[in-house]
Amino acid sequence: GAGVSQSPRYKVAKRGQDVALRCDPISGHVSLFWYQQALGQGPEFLTYFQNEAQLDKSGLPSDRFFAERPEGSVSTLKIQRTQQEDSAVYLCASSLPGRGQNSPLHFGNGTRLTVT
Amino acid sequence: RKEVEQDPGPFNVPEGATVAFNCTYSNSASQSFFWYRQDCRKEPKLLMSVYSSGNEDGRFTAQLNRASQYISLLIRDSKLSDSATYLCVVNDEGRDDKIIFGKGTRLHILP
């Protein structure tokens, strides 16, 4: 399909395990965002890329979280030494270049991470 | 003050009624505003952009009040299928296009 693709759809990790979440944005979308959504909450911003450049990582909750987009397309969000509070849905979104009304976000289905 | 604030609800509204909710934002330099809809266990999807002059899409009307820094969403003749969480979204273009979500307002349409 032509939408944003995320994998895996579900991930169960034991506390202390490292995980890697993948996002494949819509082709041609320059901007890529990662969000964390806890149950009953709105998506919380984690980080933002424009092509391969990570322009904002102010939302990453700790240095255990790392994101990359080395070729300006696929992005990976890595969480090291997972903790129970990391359990959430991780949403990836992409948008066209430019700003404003012409750049709504298109979301993937998300990865539901459960840390046991 | 949170960057984007919404009443979490839930709003329980009978089918056919009109419902409205607001969202306030803290950054007066924000330029772009959206309403997204999120169904349970699904990803958010764009409902409508919010333009300065206000805009309408069928039963949905969005308005922006820059002076008071809020946006609103009005749903007329509500349907059961309108039950969802409505997320207010602000694009802080002054900060490299950081897009901020509110926590969402839950809407339940009652038969």
For A49-81, the pLDDT digits (tens) are 999 999 889 899 999 999 999 999 999 999 999
Percent of chain A with pLDDT over 90: 78
Contact residues, A window 46-105, toward B, CB-based 8 Å cutoff: 48, 50, 55-56, 58, 91, 99-101, 103-105
Which is it for the CA torsion A37, A43, A49, A55, positive or negative? negative
The span from the CA of B76 to the CA of B57, in Å, is: 11
3-state secondary structure of A59: coil
- Is A109 within 8 Å of B87 when comparing Cβ atoms? no
What is the band of A96 on the pLDDT scale with cuts at 50, 70, 90?
confident
B24 token code pair: 């306030």
pLDDT in tens, B9-61: 999 999 999 999 999 999 888 888 999 999 988 999 999 999 888 999 999 99
Q: Closest Cα to residue B41, out of A2, A20, A40, A95?
A: A40
Interface test with B, best of A23, A89, A101, A112 (most B CBs within 10 A): A101
- Please give the pLDDT value at position A40: 83
pLDDT at B95: 55
**Are residues A32 and A93 in contact, defined by beta-carbon separation less than 8 angstroms?**
yes
Least confident of A17-21, B1-5, B76-80, B83-87: B1-5
From the list A56, A99, A110, the residue facing B93 with the nearest CB is A99
CA angle B94, B86, A94 (to 5 degrees): 50
